[in-house]
Amino acid sequence: MPPHQASSESLLRVVNDRGVMDALGVVTVARMGVLFAGEVLLLGSRAPYATALLPVLATAVCWACYQGLRRRLPLFLHDWFLTCVDLVVGCLLLLLSAVSYADNLRALWSSYALVSAVFIGLAMSSLWPAVWASGIISWIAVCGVAGDSVRGSSFLMSLGIVSSVVLGNKWRRKVWDIGELSAEVASAREERRAMAERLSIARDLHDSLAKSVHGIRMLSETLDGALREEGHTCALLSRTLFESADEASREARIVLDGLRVGGEDNTVAALEEAVVRWGDRSSITPVFDIDSTLGALRSTPEAMWQLHRIVGEALVNAEKHSGARHVYFTAKRLGEDLLIEISDDGRGLPASVIADKGRVGHYGFQGMKERADSLGAWLEVSSRSENGDGLCLRLVVPLRALSMSRR
């Protein structure tokens, strides 16, 4: 899984778990409050000590269930275990209410059953809440606990149990919706912060390093022209100096352009614009083949930065090494992936260099591969034709990776 995807899903999981645990804590306090009230009634009615101990044990079970879930203890993470424990406790309390030792005891235990239904619906999202509700409803029918004291029939009590389970389940989904929104807000803030940092770095580089490099390039170009015109013995050295300065200037321009790239609502269009700008600066003509059915694919600043650097490195390689007249930029959709292909009609590279691209640092291949890996993408470099002419870079990016944030 790509790092940005893993971190985003981890953030969402943390937010959702915290929200669900907070809600379960509220319901647990309500359950324990009902049990405490029932214990007071039992003690006041002089019920047998064994009977009076039952609410105390139920309180301990309630607290243990909540703590087990909150601390993510393995046993409590099994839905069947939590269902069975709560079902047994609920049935015992309903049985106790059938043998009324105090006024309003039936109403209290029925209230406990309703609150527990909310707890079960909130804690679990599978079929186990339905199993729990069926068990409680069956026990209600056996014990006949929903009498006049709770102003309803067994049918109404059963309906209340089902409604409470549904309420708990809806509460859970609402917590998850809020968690997703919170995670999106946090990701947006992180993206804005990262973008502000990149813009600050871009300004600093432009005002210092980029200007200095460009100045060195201009001076070396002037020096190279003068020495070559005079036929000076150092003309070859000056030419090497100029080519190095020119390469550094191009690299600085690519880095600055990439740092200024933010999130895009149309990723392919932004990359196409970058290729057009590169074509205006170079002697190579770009040719585009973009699938009209692609539509607007949104990307985060991080994903756009990585794509921009990969495409930029491929274009620099074509300009420096290929001797090509045309560069072909292709973008298509492959199922749930985006295919970006950059090829040229130049002289290509030796087969040995292409074969070693994953092991040595030829032509920036290793850097491009690492950037592709950070997106969970697949990258391949090969000859454009069977006779070895031209070079072709294929990048397959999962569409989901474009819109996932990275920390």
Q: Where are the domains of the chain?
A: 3-185, 263-407
Helices and strands in the chain: count of H runs, count of E runs = 13, 5
3-class DSSP assignment, residue 33: helix
**Residue 127: what are its φ and ψ, rounded to 5°?**
-80, -10
Average pLDDT of the segment spanning 322-332: 90
- Residues 338-388 have pLDDT tens digits of 999 999 988 876 666 666 654 444 557 888 888 899 888 999 888 776 666
Task: Please say whether the beta carbons of 96 and 109 come within 8 A.
Answer: yes
Residue 15's pLDDT is: 46
| The two structure tokens encoding residue 397 | 């990016």
Distance CA 404, CA 303 (A): 8
* Confidence class for position 33, pLDDT limits 50, 70, 90: very high
* Residue that is written with structure tokens 């397959």 in the block: 396
Average pLDDT, the chain: 78
Instruction: Quickly count: other Cβ atoms within 10 Å of residue 22's Cβ.
Output: 11
Residue, of 340 and 21, whose pLDDT is higher:
340
CATH T-level topology, domain 263-407: Heat Shock Protein 90 (3.30.565)
| Concatenated DSSP letters of 71-104 | TT-GGGG-HHHHHHHHHHHHHHHHHHHHS-SSTT
Centroid of chain to Cα 117: 32
Task: Please say whether the beta carbons of 349 and 391 come within 8 A.
Answer: yes
Residue 147's pLDDT is: 47
Beta carbons within 8 Å of 312's beta carbon, 6+ residues apart: 254, 257, 258, 274, 278
* Confidence class for position 7, pLDDT limits 50, 70, 90: very low
Report the relative pairing of strands 337-344 and 378-383 from DSSP bridges.
unpaired
Task: Indicate whether 190 pLDDT > 80.
Answer: no
**Residue 56: what are its φ and ψ, rounded to 5°?**
-65, -45
Residue 6's pLDDT is: 41
| The two structure tokens encoding residue 377 | 């993408």
Instruction: Quickly count: other Cβ atoms within 10 Å of residue 154's Cβ.
Output: 16
Query: Using alpha carbons only, what angle is made at residue 26 by residues 186 and 151, rounded to the nearest 5 degrees?
Result: 135
Q: Give the helix ranges, DSSP H, for 231-350.
A: 235-259, 267-281, 301-317
Residue among 396, 374, 276, 252 at smallest CA distance from 3: 374
Residue 133's pLDDT is: 86
